[in-house]
Amino acid sequence: MIKTKLSQVRAHARPEPATYRILREVADGLSAPQKELSPKYFYDHRGSELFEEITRLPEYYPTRTERAILDAWMPSLIARLGTRTLIELGAGSAEKSRLILDAMRAAGTAERYVPIDVSAAFLSLTAARLRREYPGLKVEPAVADISEELNLPRGLPRPALFAFLGSTIGNFYPPAAIRLLGRVRAAMEPGDRFLMGADLRKDVARLEAAYNDSRGVTAEFNRNMLRVLNHELGADFDPEAFEHRAFYDTVAHRIEMHLVSVGAQTVNVPGIGGIAFADGETLRTEISAKYDRESVGALFEAAGLRIDAWRTDPENLFALVVGAPA
Ligand code: SAH
Ligand code: AVI
């Protein structure tokens, strides 16, 4: 239980507005019957590095599968669209984005790249690397939470391609996913397109293996959220006192990741108070929804988009979909 009322938070800790917002979100999440926090809290510099390590694991098929589809498709797609600006949500290392930028360069239209991410330190490294690799490309990174507003620089060369790779859309609950796609739709101008990665529904064993790797990297990634809370808020979580759990919900079609309390414990978060965890109680840290063409179509339709093109790998593990205004 949270012992300090939120109305007391400001008087207690006198935090900066951004910290206050985080505190409020964390207080709400940790006081819900099912404790839950946004997966955006995985991503400090270490969290971004751990995610990169996940993408190289044998069990984690999404990244290499999406890369193969991009590799085969981008030269013709980009030449057809004439993309002059790439706007990327949740860009991370932008490793796969290079395949889009390469296609823009080959088409002679690589003018602007706007990578958007919450992971500030990682984003600036990504931007610096890309400026070196693509002289002539103007790189304008933006540190922002894409679940809030989509504030784009003015005067971007058009047409633009909005990209949301990696199936990160699956980390948002449907209402938030629709709001996010709706903001993309609202920012689109005539001729712009939206390119989205979607991890597909498949056998449970394969899905669960991707989130329970044998080397325990996903478990460390999961626990990293507690380290972020310790660092950002001065909380005293003992990451080793929580176990990693990930399972597939065949009804909701999603992976859920949780941290399971080993024994009863109380964690102190300055400005919030003591948070009690019963033995075996869980904190949900992420959902990762899995799709088919119909469910992507429904999501798009709700956001004012339509499916313009759809490509999968031969095993039907992952899809890349192009969206256009409906
Ligand atoms: N696009 C890359 C990275 C995916 S990992 C790929 O396909 O491999 C998810 C990325 O989204 C991370 O870089 C993380 O920092 C970012 N992210 C997660 N939640 C976010 C949010 N609410 N706002 C902005 N970026 C977010
Ligand atoms: C970023 N996102 C799409 C990843 C996913 O698969 O949902 C995050 C992740 N969580 C555990 N492993 C990878």
Residue with the nearest Cα to atom 8 of ligand 1? Answer: 166
Residue with the nearest Cα to atom 1 of ligand 2? Answer: 168
- The string of DSSP codes covering 64-110 is HHHHHHHHHHHHHHHHHHT--EEEEET-TT-TTHHHHHHHHHHTT--
Task: Tell me what pLDDT residue 18 has.
Answer: 76
Ligand 1 atom closest to Cα of 145?
A: 23
Instruction: Say whether the peptide bond before residue 159 is cis (omega within 30 degrees of 0).
Output: yes
What's the 196 CA to ligand 1 centre distance in angstroms?
A: 13
Interatomic CA distance for residues 194 and 88, integer angstroms? 10
- pLDDT tens, per residue, the chain with 326 residues: 333 333 344 444 455 677 888 999 999 999 999 999 999 999 999 999 999 999 999 999 999 999 999 999 999 999 999 999 999 999 999 999 999 999 999 999 999 999 999 999 999 999 999 999 999 999 999 999 999 989 899 999 999 999 999 999 999 999 999 999 999 999 999 999 999 999 999 999 999 999 999 999 999 999 999 999 999 999 999 999 999 999 999 999 999 999 999 999 999 999 999 999 999 999 999 999 999 999 999 999 999 999 999 999 999 999 999 999 99
Ligand 2 atom closest to Cα of 288?
A: 7
In 3D space, the residue among 54, 63, 92, 89 whose CA is nearest the CA of residue 221 turns out to be: 54
Task: Tell me what pLDDT residue 84 has.
Answer: 98
Pairing of strands 138-139, 112-117: parallel
Q: Please, are residues 86 and 114 in contact by the beta-carbon 8 Å criterion?
A: yes
- The encoded tokens of residue 195 equal 């390119």
Check if 115 has its Cβ closer than 6 Å to any atom of ligand 2: no
Whole-prediction pTM: 0.95
- The string of DSSP codes covering 47-68 is HHHHHHHHHTSTT-HHHHHHHH
Residues near ligand 1 (Cβ within 6 A): 40, 43, 48, 51, 55, 63, 90-92, 96, 117-119, 145-147, 165-166, 168
What's the 12 CA to ligand 1 centre distance in angstroms?
A: 32
Q: How many helices (H) and strands (E) does the chain have?
A: 10, 14
